[in-house]
Structures are given as C-alpha cells and as structure tokens.
Amino acid sequence: MLRPRLWEQVILHAALVAIALFVLVPIWGLIYPAFDGGIKGHPSEFRVWPEQFTLAVFEDVWERPAQTLSFAGVLKNSLIVSGGAALGSVVMGASAAYGFARFRFPGRRGGLLALLAGALLPPVALMTPLYVLLTFLGLRTTLLGLMVVYTAFSMPFCVWNMRSAFQSVPGELEAAAFLDGAGQWDAFRLVTLPLALPSIGVAALLAFVLGYSEFAIGWLFVETSETVTLAMAVSSMLQSGYFSWSRLAALSILMALPVVVLFLILQRYLIRGLLIGTVEE
C-alpha cells in the first residue's frame, strides 16, 4: 500500500483541523459565557477566555432556573418524563418488534409501513388527537401525560430499530432453546434479548433524548409551573424578552450533563447497535 505524499498528508490534516474547529468553536462559544461574570446581557464579542471568571452564574441557575422550581425540581420532571418515555418505548417496542421479526401474520407488512409512516409524520400532526385523548383520560396536564406523548413519538423508530436487531439473531439459537425445554418467553428473555441489547440501548437513548429535549409540543400539555421540564425552562427563558446569555449558557450546560452521563454509560452498546444491519426477508 502506497503511503500518502507529504502534500496529501498536509491537506488531510488541515481538513481535519478545520472540521474540528467547525465543531468545537460553537461549543466553546456556549461554554465560556457561563463562566463570564462580565456579561450582563448578550456577548458583544467572541472571547477565547472569560473576562471575569466566576461560578456565580451556575449557582444562580441552580437555585432558580424556572419561575418557582429549583434546578433539581425541573431536572426531576425532565428525568421522570424522558426516562418514562424511554422505558415505555423499549418495553412496548421490544414486544412489537419481536412479533414483527419472528412471526408471520396477516397485515404484518401493512403494520410495518404504518409505523414507518408514523415516524415520518411531524409531531405537530399528532397534537390534536393526543390532546383529545389525554383530556378524555384526565392526563393532559400531568407528567404521565407527557410520558405518553413522547412514547408515541419515539415508538416507531424503536420498533424498526429493535426489529432489525431481533432479525439479526439466528433463529437456530431459539430453536436450540426450545429443544432444551424453554418456552417462547424464556427463549426471548434468555437468548434473543441479551443479544439485541446494543440496539435496545440505542433505541432507549434516542427515546430519552427526544423526551428530554422536546419543548414545543410539551407546552400544550403543561398548565402549572410544577410540571415544567428543563427544555421548557430554556424555551421560557428565550421568550422572556430580556435575558442573560450567561444564565442561558449555564442552564444549557447543566441540562446537557445527564445526556452526556447516559451516553458514557451506554457507549459500549451504541456503536455495536448502530452497526447491526437489517436481515433480508
């Protein structure tokens, strides 16, 4: 194999540096205002380092990011909603995905196409039916209602993603389990499910992020400040007219930390899950 010539290596490394700067400079543009006590309104210039380094902005945001709740209270709402949506999407989605992957029944292809169409629909298209349904059930203004909304949004992707994972598990492994006396549930729980964990981790993370970061539709199902999530707190801060960019940056950083921690926990599964391909039928 021929080694790249010197000028080719220079061009390649210059391109990689440019891509890295393109990604990292905006991130730093978010980080440094959170530590700069000299910014009272909006930053007037880009700085490599904060002019007045301080942690007071984080202390202020931690005490009161929303109108009546502390950061811990708003974070609790976000984790309950997004965690519940991720759990519901994975549990119900795994059941549906396994059925589509292993069984043949009338309407199977139509059901898969309907799920795909649901994934392609913009979430705003489901606002009216969800509003009517949750109002009828008495859940519209509760955190449980938000869980149902975000579970509905993430379910199509979860089913398609986990179906591909279940299809990639050889059916012979389940057949061997049947010969050893295992039932359908035991074969699924002890054989197929552990082998599909990477894709399940991907589906859980994306469902969590969707419920954690969505705010536009969430306002339709929230009436009191006690059920506000972090994404809604950021949106409310932006819509307040005059706000401090330092507070906004600090709140955004604190909001991103749980997702980063969850990614670090699931990273061993993510790459493997994304590499699982679809088995041709």
Is 62 within the bounds of a domain? no
Is 156 within the bounds of a domain? yes
Is 19 within the bounds of a domain? no
CA-nearest of 162, 189, 197 to 270 is 197
Is 23 within the bounds of a domain? no
Distances (CA, A) of 182 to 46, 100, 101, 187, 192: 64, 21, 19, 6, 12
Is 55 within the bounds of a domain? no
Q: Let me know if 180 is exposed, middle or buried by CB neighbors in 10 A (0-12, 13-18, 19+).
A: exposed
Is 44 within the bounds of a domain? no
Is 159 within the bounds of a domain? yes
Torsion-angle region of 181 (φ positive above 0: left; ψ -120 to 50: alpha; else: beta): left
Distances (CA, A) of 114 to 72, 85, 110, 129, 274: 39, 21, 6, 17, 23
Full domain range(s) for residue 202: 67-275
Number of domains in the chain: 1
Is 227 within the bounds of a domain? yes
Render pLDDT for 172-210 as a digit per residue (tens, 0 to 9).
888 888 888 888 888 888 888 888 888 888 888 889 998
Point out which residues pair with 53 in neighbouring strands: 36
CATH number, position 205: 1.10.3720.10
Render pLDDT for 204-245 as a digit per residue (tens, 0 to 9).
888 999 889 888 888 888 877 788 888 888 887 777 665 678
**pTM reported for the whole predicted model:** 0.81
If residue 254 lies in a helix (H) or strand (E), which one and from where to where? Answer: helix 245-275
* pLDDT (0 to 100) of residue 273: 55
